[in-house]
Amino acid sequence: MTIPRTRGQRRRLEWSLLAVALLGLVAWLSVSASLGGANHLVQDVGLRLVARPAHSDIVIVAIDDRSIAVIGRWPWRRALHAELINRISVQGPRVIGMDVLFNEEDLDYPADDLLLADALARSGRVVLPVLRRGHGPAANAADLPWPAFAAAAAGLGHVHVAPDNDGVVRGLYLQEGPATAPWPHFSTVMQCVADADKRPCGAAQPGTPGTPRADHGAAETSPWQRSEPALIAYAGGPAHFTTYSYIDVLRGQVPGDAFHGKYVLVGAAASGLGDMFATPVSRQSRLMPGVEVVSHVLDGSLSGVQIRPAAPVQNLVFNLLPVAGALVALLLLGPFVALLTSAALAAVTVLLSVALTGWVGLQFAPAAALVGLVLAYPLWSWRRLSAAAHFLRLEMERLQKDGLSMRLRERPGDTSDFLERRINAVERASRQLRDLHHFVSESLQQLPSPTLVCDAQGRILLTNVAARLHVGGDADVSLQGLSAVELLRDLVQTGTNLPLITQDKLRSGCMAEQAEGRDAKDRSMLVQCKPFTDLAQAGWLLTLVDITDMRRALQQRDQAMNFISHDIRAPNASILTLLEMQRAYPGRMPHEELMQRIERYAQNSLGMAENFVKLAGAQTQEYRMAPLDLVAVLAETVDDVWALARESEVEVTIATTPDTAPALGDRSLLCRALANVLHNAVKFSPAGSVVVCAITQRDRHWVVSVRDQGPGIAPELQGQLFAPFQRLHDRSHPAISGVGLGLALVHTVIQRHGGALEVDSDVNQGAEFRLVLPMRLSSEPAAA
pLDDT band at 490, cuts 50/70/90? confident
Is residue 96 within 8 Å of residue 59, measured between CB atoms?
no
pLDDT one-digit tens code per residue, 400-432 = 676 655 454 555 555 556 666 666 766 776 777
pLDDT one-digit tens code per residue, 301-310 = 888 888 888 8
pLDDT band at 91, cuts 50/70/90? very high
Among 136-145, 481-490, 507-516, 651-660, the least confident range: 136-145
Those residues with Cβ within 8 angstroms of residue 589's Cβ, 6 or more apart along the chain or in another chain: 578, 581, 582
Among 38-42, 98-102, 132-136, the least confident range: 132-136
Residue 121: the pLDDT is 92
* Rounded Cα distance, 572 and 609, in Å: 12
506: nearest Cα among 460, 447, 544? 460
How many other CB atoms are found less than 10 A from the CB of residue 320? 18
Look at phi and psi of residue 357 and say left if phi exceeds 0, alpha if psi is from -120 to 50, else beta: alpha
Q: Would you list the DSSP string of 363-421?
A: E--THHHHHHHHHHHHHHHHHHHHHHHHHHHHHHHHHHHTT-----S--TT--S-HHHH
How many other CB atoms are found less than 10 A from the CB of residue 568? 18
* Amino acid sitting at position 402: D
pLDDT band at 719, cuts 50/70/90? low
Residue 691: the pLDDT is 92
> How much is the average pLDDT of 549-576?
66
Q: What share of the chain is helix, strand, coil (3-state, %, to 5)?
A: 45, 20, 35
- Average pLDDT over the chain reads 79
174 or 621: which carries more pLDDT confidence? 174
pLDDT one-digit tens code per residue, 315-347 = 888 888 888 888 888 888 877 888 888 888 888
* Rounded Cα distance, 194 and 188, in Å: 10
pLDDT one-digit tens code per residue, 729-771 = 444 444 444 445 567 778 888 888 888 888 888 777 788 889 9
pLDDT one-digit tens code per residue, 228-257 = 888 888 888 888 899 999 999 999 999 989
**Crossing angle, helix 335-359 and helix 367-401, to 10 degrees?**
170
Is residue 162 within 8 Å of residue 205, measured between CB atoms?
no
* Rounded Cα distance, 400 and 203, in Å: 92
Cα–Cα distance list, 660 to 634, 656, 776 (Å)? 11, 12, 11
Residue 774: the pLDDT is 92
pLDDT at 134 exceeding the cut of 50: yes
Residue 136: the pLDDT is 60
Q: For strands 95-98 and 263-268, give the pairing.
A: parallel
Angle in degrees, CA 410, 411, 413, rounded to 5? 115
pLDDT at 727 exceeding the cut of 60: no
pLDDT band at 211, cuts 50/70/90? very low
pLDDT band at 362, cuts 50/70/90? confident
